[in-house]
Amino acid sequence: MRRLIVFTFTFFLIFRFAGAEPPQGRISLEDAMRICMKNLEERYHIAFDAGWAPFVQYEIPKAIPREEALDFEACYYPAEQSFFFHPRYVGISFESGAFLKDTFPAGDTSLLARVASAICHELGHAYADQVSRRMDLGMWPKEEWFPDTLGKEELLVDMLSEGIAEYFGRTFLRDRSEAEIMPEEWEAELSPARYEYLSYEGGYWLMRPLIDAFGDRGIRYAVSHPIALQDGGLKASAFRYWEAAFKDLRSSE
Which residues lie closer than 8 Å to 119 by C-beta, 6 or more apart? 29, 32, 33, 36, 74
Q: Inform me whether the pLDDT recorded for 7 exceeds 60.
A: no
Using the Cα atoms of residue 89, residue 90, residue 91 and residue 96 in order, give the sign of their dihedral: positive
Averaged pLDDT of the chain: 80
pTM assigned to the model: 0.84
Q: What is the pLDDT of residue 131?
A: 97
Per DSSP, the three-state class of 248 is helix
C-alpha 42/C-alpha 107 separation (Å) is 25
Q: Quick one: average pLDDT of 203-219?
A: 93
pLDDT at 247 over 60: yes
What pLDDT, on the 0 to 100 scale, is given for residue 20? Answer: 44
Least confident of 121-125, 133-137, 153-157: 153-157
What pairing do the DSSP bridges indicate for beta strands 82-85 and 55-58?
parallel
Neighbours of 134 (CB within 10 A): 11
> What is the per-residue pLDDT across 145-202, written as a single tens digit (0 to 9) for each?
555 556 777 888 899 999 999 999 988 775 555 555 555 555 567 788 888 888 888 8
Which domains occur in the chain, in start order?
13-251 (1.10.390)
| Cα atoms found within 13 Å of the Cα of residue 20, Cβ hemisphere only | 16
Rounded Cα distance, 165 and 211, in Å: 11
- Given this model, what pLDDT does residue 24 score? 60
Put residue 3 in one of left, alpha, beta given phi > 0 → left and psi -120 to 50 → alpha: left
Q: Find out whether 206 and 138 touch, Cβ atoms under 8 Å.
A: no
Q: How many CA atoms lie within 13 A of 96 on its CB side?
A: 10
CA 158/CA 195 separation, integer angstroms: 9
The helix/strand/coil state of 188 is: coil
Cβ contact 9:80 at 8 Å: yes
Residue 3: the pLDDT is 41
Instruction: Tell me the percentage of the chain whose pLDDT exceeds 90.
Output: 34
β strands within the chain, DSSP E: 13-14, 26-28, 55-58, 74-77, 82-85, 93-95
Integer angstrom CA distances of residue 188 from 163, 179, 191, 195, 239: 21, 19, 9, 10, 18
Residue 32 has pLDDT above 50, yes or no: yes
Half-sphere exposure of 70 (CA within 13 A, CB side): 1
pLDDT tens per residue across span 74-113: 999 998 889 999 998 988 888 877 776 667 776 777 888 8
Separation of alpha carbons 106 and 97, rounded Å: 20
